[in-house]
Chain A
C-alpha cells in the first residue's frame, strides 16, 4: 500500500463519521418535515401546486449556491448547522412528491369503503391512505437518501467534515488517490443506504402476500442486520467529538492546505490539539474567524483590502498592510499575528517563448496586441478589482477572456490554448511551466502579503501567539513557490511540502 493511500485511509474514520452524521440528521429531518407537508398538499389543492413548485425550485438551485445562501442567512455561521439546513432543503422534493403521489394513487374504492364504514378523514388518512402509500413514500425517501449522500460531499465548502474533504483536498492538491478514496467512500455509503431502504421498500410492498415466504424472511433478516449495523455506526458517529484547542481554517487551494498543515504541525508540537477545516471560501472563512468558529488561517492583505473593505484603489504595499491590520482589529476584533514573508498576488504570465515572439516584457507592451490575445483567468479574476484596475490603468482588453479552474488554466497556457493567464506569484506552476511573469510598471495589481489572521480568543493566548511568531517572515516567494511546486507539479503529498517548509523555518 502506497504512503499516499495510507495517509488517506488514516482520515477515513473522521470523514466517515462526519459524512454519516450529516446524512442521517439531514435525512431524518427531511423525512419529519416533508411527509407532513406532502400530506397537507395531498389534502388541499391550494397548498399542493405552490408547495410542489417551491420544492422543485429549491432543487433546481445549484447545491453550492444553496449552501452559500444558508451560510449568509445564518450570519456567516459555518459547520454542521448550515450544511444540514441545505441538505434538508435538498432532500425535500422526492419525499414531498412521493407522499403526494402515494396518497393520491390509493384506489378510490378503498377510500370510499373507509368512508362507508364510518372512518373520519383523519382515520382514513392514518389507517388507510398512509399505510397504502407507504411503499411509494419510502421510494421517495430512498431517492432523497442517495441525493443527500452525494450533496453532503459539498458541505466541506462550508466547513462541515465529510467525504468531500477527500475530494476537494485531492482536486486542489492534484492528489488523485484522495479524490478516488473520497468518491468511492461516498458511492459505497450511497449504495449501502439505497440497498437498506430498497429492502424496507420491498418488505412494505410485499408485507401482505409474502410475509410467510422464505424470501420475505431472508430479506427481513438482511435488512434488520444492516439497520443494526448502520445503527451502531451511527451511534458511534454521534459520540461528541473531543473539544480541540484551536481550529485552523483554510481556503481551497494547495498553498492553504500546506500552511494550514504547517500551523497544525507547529501547534501540535507545542502540545495543543487542533482541528483543520479546509476548503472554504474567503467570505465564509473570514466571518467564521470573526465569530470565533475558526481560530486562525492564512489570509492575504489584498483580499481583505478589496473584498472585505471594498476598496478600489491601490495605495501601495505598506499602507495596505497597515490598513488591513487596523481594519480586522477594529471592525471584527481579529488580530494579524504576523506576515509570513511571501506574497500571493495576481500577475499576468505567459509562456516564455510566446512572450519573446511577441516582444512582451511588461503589460504596456501588450496594449497594441491585446485585441488578438486570449486570456484565461481563474474562477474569480475577471470579477475582481484587479481586473478592473488593470483594464482601466492600461486601457486594455483581451480578445477573449476565459474562466478556468486554476489547474486547468496553467495547463491551457502551457499547451498554447491561451496566450496569457492570471497566475499567482507564489504558485509552483509558474516555475514548473517556466512561465514569464509580465511586469506591471504602473502597479495596477494589488499587493497580497500573506499573513496569519487569528480570532480574538486565539490572539489572547500568549503561547499561541509565540508559536505563530516563529513563522513571521520566514517564507519567501521562491520558497512558497517551491513548496507549492512539490505538491502541484511533482505530485508529492502536502506533508512533504510541510516538511520542506519546516526545514527552512527551523534551520
Chain B
C-alpha cells in the first residue's frame, strides 16, 4: 500500500487534483485580497461563493448554457459585493459582523433556493477540459498542467493580472494607498469610497466565479453548503499570502495539494480515520497562520471605516 502511495500514477493524480482544487481558492483569495488591500475585510466570502455556485448551477441546469451560468454567477457575486460595500463603506458598519451576516444570508438563501428550485442533487456537464495541442501530450507534465478546463486556467491567469493591476496601474496605486492611509488618499482627491466600492464589487465577482468553478467546472453538482467553509479558508489564505497575488497562489496551491493528498490517502485506503484526513488541510492552515501571522504586515487601515474627521 505504501508502494502504491509513491507510484508515479499516484503522484500525477495528486498533483493534477491539487492544481484543479486550487481554482476556487485562487478566485476567492485574490478577490478577498483586492478588498483587503483597500482596507475592507469581507468575511462573507463563503456566502458569496455559495450564491455564485447556486446561480451558475441553476442557470446551466435550466439552459445548458455554461457561459450564461458563469455570467449570472459573476453578477450575483458582484451584487453581494455591492451590498457588503454599502454596509461597510457607506453605513460604516462593523465589517466582521456585516461579513458574517452576508455569509449567513448566502448559506441560507442558497439552501432555500436549492430546495425550492431543485430539490434533489442533480448534475450538469461542466466546462470540459481543453486539449492544448502538443502541451497536453507531454508525458507527466501534460496531465498535471495542461488537462484542465477554462476556469482553472483563468484562476492561474488571475495571479499575474491582479499583480499587474495592484502594482503597475494608477488604480492599483489608489487601492494600496486607500488601504494604508485613506486620509492621505482623500487629501489628494482620491475617492476612498469609490475605490472601496470598486474592489469590493470586483472581489465579489471573483468570489461568485469561485463558487461557479465548483458547481459547473470541478464538481458539476450543487448541494446544500457545497463550499463547506472554503470561503473562510480563502480569507485565511489572504493573510497567509501576505496580501500579495503570488502569496495567494502559494497558499492556494499548498492548501489544495494537501487536500488532494488526503483525498488520495482515503481513495487508496491508507488506514487512518477519514475524519483525521479531512482535518489535515485545516490543521495545516492554522499551523501555518500561527507561524506567518507575525511576519507580514496588514494594510494599516484594514477593517477601519473611513470618515473625514476633525483635524
Are A and B subunits of one complex? no
Question: Which A residues have a C-beta under 8 Å from some C-beta of B?
Answer: none
Question: Which B residues have a C-beta under 8 Å from some C-beta of A?
Answer: none
